[in-house]
Amino acid sequence: MGRWMKPEIYPLLGAMTFVTSMCIFQLTRNMLLNPDVKINKAHRTMGVLENQEEGEKYAEHGLRKFLRTRRPEIMPSINHFFSEDK
């Protein structure tokens, strides 16, 4: 394996592993939790979907609720340091 894996490849391998795992996470989340995706045949035969509560629960997840209470800043400590009057 030492002949095929050079040390310069490790950062690229780590980045690609992270990106691939994020893609798999998002695809799995959409497949299992998205109210618009129906895997079950009984759900696919419904003409009109009556699942507003399920859609609201999917759209208003915990991260979105947490970020709604925060100020829209990327680095608040640095912004505060440079914007305060001395």
- For the segment 44-85, what is each residue's pLDDT rounded down to a tens digit? 777 666 778 877 888 888 888 898 888 888 888 888 888 887
- Does 21 fall in a domain? yes
- Does 2 fall in a domain? no
How many domains does the chain fold into? 1
- Does 83 fall in a domain? no
Print the domain residue range for 35: 7-40+48-72
- Does 13 fall in a domain? yes
Label residues 48-74 b or e (16+ Cβ within 10 Å = b).
eeeeeeeeeeeeeeeeeeeeeeeeeee
- Does 85 fall in a domain? no
Tokens for 15?
């980045």
> Residues 12-37: pLDDT tens digits?
999 999 999 999 999 998 888 887 77
Whether this model's pTM surpasses 0.85: no
- Does 32 fall in a domain? yes
- Does 57 fall in a domain? yes
Name residue 24's amino acid: I
